Amino acid sequence: RRFDYRPETDPYCQARYTFCPTGSAIPVMKEEDVIEVYRLQAPVWEFKYGDLLGHLKIMHDAVGFKSSLTGKNYTMEWYELFQLGNCTFPHLRPGMAAPFWCNQGAACFYEGIDDAHWKENGTLVLVTTISGTMFNEMAQWVKYDNETGIYYETWTVQGSPDKKSTVWFDSYECSKFILRTYQKLADLGAVFKKIQTNYTSIILFSGEPVYLGNETSIFGPQGNKTLAAAIRDFYNPFKPHQSVREFFVDLFKIIDRVILNHQFYLFYNLEYWFLPMKSPYLKIIYEEVPLPVGSKASFGV
């Protein structure tokens, strides 16, 4: 779903790590430039935990560019403004009936490619070359995509592990931005190398979701107080924890609700849904998504 504008962020929403600290505007390239495009992938939080999450195949994706005319490198990625936890679960604030969400994602563009970051535990590989004209057209698309696709969605929700299973909800995170960027470049004429490309998805397994309503219809003056209490009660164990004991007590609550009672409340595009959870409940997969084939005259490798 696309939105008309990006809302102002609430001062309550604070990130532990600054979003896009060295970000810059996307430059205008000369039409005759030839620009190398690189696939970048590294374990999530590699800067803090090294390859730890890489062993679980929880990976972060980005795309790199190198101008042949200037020799300059650039990195472009898409991630959460307020870290993953805030995008995945809300805050339950005193005096506020509805859960409060600090959830936005956005593109970040900056000069340079941190070779060590991407190479050491991940991937830095050339996937295609494009013209300066194609790069500039892609930049206009990025602006549109960034202004209208604003909410981070952690979960993919589908009916079963079967590859042909119904996908109830699709995630909207870093890898999906990279896939959209590749597809845009292919549509503009880029020809991609034939290499295997895999991406991480975090999947919830559910029967057919039940629509519950939006914030106003559930938590407003005329809302459903029983449902509102159930949603708040569900999200409570996911709050940040101050002690190990608190964490394990709430972990048992989560297991009880999600696995034993088959319940999950999903907030997706500003609407609440009930998911009747089913085995295997949650799975992290790292599966191949082929590089795209374009529809225009070719340019590139």
Active-site positions read 60, 174
- The dihedrals phi and psi of 283, each to the nearest 5 degrees, come to -150, 140
Angle subtended at Cα 101 by Cα 250 and Cα 109, rounded to the nearest 5 degrees: 115
d(CA 2, CA 151): 9
> Residue 65, class by beta-carbon neighbours within 10 Å (0-12 exposed, 13-18 middle, 19+ buried)?
buried
- Give CA separation, 278 vs 12, 129, 254, in Å: 35, 44, 14
What residue spans of the chain are helical by DSSP H? 46-49, 83-88, 115-121, 132-148, 174-188, 215-219, 225-235, 244-255
Length of the chain: 301
Q: Residue 291 carries which DSSP code?
A: P
| Closest to 254 (Cα-Cα) out of 271, 277, 273, 284 | 277
